[in-house]
Amino acid sequence: NAGVTQTPKFRILKIGQSMTLQCAQDMNHNYMYWYRQDPGMGLKLIYYSVGAGITDKGEVPNGYNVSRSTTEDFPLRLELAAPSQTSVYFCASRTTVGTGNTIYFGEGSWLTVV
């Protein structure tokens, strides 16, 4: 059972470059999320999706874009990378079926912008 899978695990970007962080889940969860975690801080929500074709902004969406064409995949796009986007990025998912509310996280993607 793979759960939530993120790629790449590590990436170094130059200022102004663009890239996409991939996230896939195999649990048929309808809700998916992208968070960032800065050193010594909690997680902040970037974007989320409540189902295929539906996305919405979280607390810190500037500089990012997302899409949700399938239930399984929720890629995060960084356009014109800036040093302030150096962080650890976590994808997460959960279902709203039944009473379970547990959220499942991927193992993170470490991004450095230089």
Partner 1 sequence: KQEVTQIPAALSVPEGENLVLNCSFTDSAIYNLQWFRQDPGKGLTSLLLIQSSQREQTSGRLNASLDKSSGRSTLYIAASQPGDSATYLCAVRGSGETSGSRLTFGEGTQLTVNP
Does 60 help bind partner 1 (rule: CB under 8 A)? Answer: no
Of these, 75, 77, 95, 105, which contacts partner 1 (CB under 8 A)? 105
Pick out residues in 74-93 that bind partner 1 (CB under 8 A).
Answer: 90, 92
Provide the residue type at 109 as one letter: S
Stretch that binds partner 1, among 21-29, 42-50, 62-70, 72-80 (CB under 8 A): 42-50
Which two structure tokens, joined as six digits, stand for 50? Answer: 């409540």
Does 62 help bind partner 1 (rule: CB under 8 A)? Answer: no
Say how many Å lie between the first and final Cα of the chain, rounded.
36
Residue-wise DSSP of 46-104: EEEEEETTEEEE-S--TTEEE--SSSSB--EEE-S--GGG-EEEEEEEE--STT----E
Positions touching partner 1 (CB under 8 A) are: 4, 31, 33, 40-45, 48, 50, 56, 58-59, 90, 92, 101-108
